[in-house]
Amino acid sequence: MLDQTALRTELANHYDLAPSPELAAAHPEIYAKMARVVSPPDWAMFAPYVVAINQLKKERNAVILAHNYMTPEIYHGIADVVGDSLQLAIEATKVEADVIVQCGVHFMAETSKILNPSKTVLIPDMEAGCSLAESITAEGIAEMRAQYPGAPVVTYVNTTAEVKAASDICCTSSNAAQIVAAQDSDTVIMTPDKYLAQNIAREVPQKRIVWWDGSCIVHERFTAHDLNAFRAHNPDTRIIAHPECPPDVVDAADFSGSTSGIIAYVERERPAQAMLVTECSMASNISDNLPDVDFVGPCNMCPYMKKITLEKVLWSLHSMQGAVEVDPAIADKARRSVQRMIDLSQQLAR
């Protein structure tokens, strides 16, 4: 990828990206989805990118799959599909367009490529990683298998294709409890998120769950002490935590769920005040749709998710650089683990 300065110069040769109150005013329907969290001058700055990207999507026959942690201008301005990891994986299988631009982190783009290998899958920044994906390799899976012979390996989708290929089945935060409960073994190995595993162990007490020592650098920073202190002064605030948080943080919350589970909970419950114990963009993205909910309290930024910007999305669609490739032999094995998860969670949802 070009460095920032070269990328800007190159883009400026092809697009007029100067802030434009005129373009901003021409798209009130897009701005209405983020007006509570994006100021008019910022929208005037984003609008030229949003318009250029949406035009280029048509020319390239591309769709944008965006995770719930993308910033509002990406989430509302250019995404065709938004969702949590499971939803995005399922949507990737259905894409008919030639190109998928994954606005999320690398393992998500890899999952899309694995599930729909004939498509060109672009990630706007190859360095959009994930601390969980970096915490384990296929050798780590082999170590766990040696330590717990015969136990199935349930691996979080936040992993590389090699790790998925070495596992028996994948899970996401929205289906982990059902996937673990459905395993035909008393002992189940969960990798790589120790906190997700510890939270699931409490939901599925009939299984002995053993885990790898990985964690999410965003969710491990929340503390039960801070949440309880906040609650002491704000007793009516609904506290909602992602299951990548440590178990005592989940205990201090009123509800825990995947990113889409969190959105569904707030939409259903409509609390006057809500604290989303997760990545900062979550509250921003749903804020305009829930004007009666006041989002309060701390949030943590995912530095990997935040590598994806409008500028880099425009560059990837313009240059068609940043295609994710997965070795076909690895992809076949990884697909089996991801597809098993999709099939089982759809079967259990019926």
Q: Which segments are annotated as binding site for [4Fe-4S] cluster?
A: 130, 216, 302
With H, G, I as helix, E, B as strand and everything else as coil, classify residue 102. strand
Q: Should residue 123 be labelled a site residue for ligand SF4 when binding is judged by CB under 6 A?
A: no
Q: Where do we find the tokens 């020319």?
A: 59
How far is residue 134's CA from residue 140's CA, in Å, rounded to a whole number? 11
Which contiguous run of DSSP H or E holds residue 111?
Answer: helix 106-115
Question: Please, which residue, 120 or 345, has the CB nearer to ligand 13P?
Answer: 345
Q: Should residue 131 be labelled a site residue for ligand SF4 when binding is judged by CB under 6 A?
A: yes
How far is residue 221's CA from residue 298's CA, in Å, rounded to a whole number? 11
Binding string, residues 81-120; x marks residues near ligand SF4 by CB under 6 A: ------------------------x---------------
Q: Should residue 244 be labelled a site residue for ligand 13P when binding is judged by CB under 6 A?
A: yes
Task: List residues bridging with 256 in a β-sheet.
Answer: 241
Question: Please, which residue, 116 or 135, has the CB nearer to ligand SF4?
Answer: 135
Q: Should residue 112 be labelled a site residue for ligand 13P when binding is judged by CB under 6 A?
A: no
Binding string, residues 299-328; x marks residues near ligand SF4 by CB under 6 A: ---x-xx-----------------------
What are 281's two structure tokens?
Answer: 């963009």
CA angle 188, 151, 187 (to 5 degrees): 40
Residue of the chain from 102, 120, 158, 199 that contacts ligand 13P (CB under 6 A)? 158
Of 72-80, 203-211, 267-275, 297-305: span binding ligand SF4 (CB under 6 A): 297-305
Q: Should residue 130 be labelled a site residue for ligand SF4 when binding is judged by CB under 6 A?
A: yes
Question: Please, which residue, 48 or 124, has the CB nearer to ligand SF4?
Answer: 124
Q: Should residue 274 be labelled a site residue for ligand 13P when binding is judged by CB under 6 A?
A: no
Binding string, residues 73-92; x marks residues near ligand 13P by CB under 6 A: -----------xx-------
CB burial string 263-299: b at 16+ within 10 A, e below = bebbeeeebeebbbbbbbbbbbbbbbebeebebbbeb
Q: Should residue 199 be labelled a site residue for ligand 13P when binding is judged by CB under 6 A?
A: no
Least distance to ligand 13P, CB of residue 122, Å: 19
Annotated binding site for iminosuccinate: 67, 85, 156-158, 173, 242-244, 259
Q: Should residue 217 be labelled a site residue for ligand SF4 when binding is judged by CB under 6 A?
A: yes
Beta strands in the chain (DSSP E): 62-67, 81-83, 99-103, 120-122, 153-156, 169-171, 187-191, 208-211, 238-241, 255-256, 273-277, 294-295
Least distance to ligand 13P, CB of residue 109, Å: 13
Name the binder of 85 from ligand 13P, ligand SF4, none, CB < 5-8 A by kind. ligand 13P
How far is residue 239's CA from residue 272's CA, in Å, rounded to a whole number? 12
How far is residue 111's CA from residue 116's CA, in Å, rounded to a whole number? 8
Q: Which residues contact 30 (CB under 8 A, 6 or more apart)?
A: 50, 76, 77
Contact positions vs ligand 13P (CB under 6 A): 68, 84-85, 158, 172-173, 216, 244, 258-259
